[in-house]
Amino acid sequence: MRVVLQTLLAAPTDRVWAEVNRTRLLDYVAWPMLKFQPVSPLKLPEKWQPGEFEVRMFAFDIVPVGRQWIVISFPDTQLPARELLDDGRGSLLSRWHHLIRVEPDGAGGTCYTDDVDVRAGVLTPCVWLFARVFYAQRQRRWRKLVKEGFTYA
């Protein structure tokens, strides 16, 4: 099942893309719904790079919800659009295919898209509903980050 959400960010695409590539953004935009604890490697790199990263996930910072493998790649796209793909999976999920796309909105800002395909067997409808709420929250956090001048607080 698929979730596609877009938001307009009042920031240049180059700046938004730089933040997309920062691993610390993950905890910021996922808060308070999810927290990620690196397992392998024990620390995430400062910037995303192609590869596989195993994390433990906690709902609301306390409830363990399993492990997730974040599998990063950068699909070839036509500039000015840019994309980062997490083709991950987890202990509860057979597929968490999350494509982030950023592109200029034509007015000096950025169109930001989360396109997520989830599969979790019989749990898929529940996971889809969670993803719908989770990505709406992520985009609210994105807008807050932009409004506060990219201050991670």
In tens, the pLDDT along 89-98 reads 999 899 999 9
CA separation for the pair 95, 86 (Å, rounded): 10
Give yes or no for a contact between 102 and 13, defined as CB atoms under 8 angstroms apart: yes
Please give the domain boundaries of the chain with CATH numbers for all domains. Answer: 2-147 (3.30.530.20)
Quote the pLDDT of residue 153: 78
- Rounded average pLDDT over 70-95: 95
Instruction: Tell me the pLDDT tens digit for each residue of 23-49.
Output: 999 999 999 999 999 999 999 999 999
Q: How far, rounded to the nearest angstrom, does the alpha carbon of residue 117 sit from its chain's CA centroid?
A: 12
**pTM, full prediction:** 0.95
CA separation for the pair 74, 36 (Å, rounded): 21
Which alpha helices (H) appear in the chain, and where do they start and end?
13-20, 24-30, 124-147
Sheet of 63-73: strand order equals: 2-9, 110-119, 95-104, 82-90, 63-73, 51-59, 34-40
Quote the tokens at residue 74: 């950068």
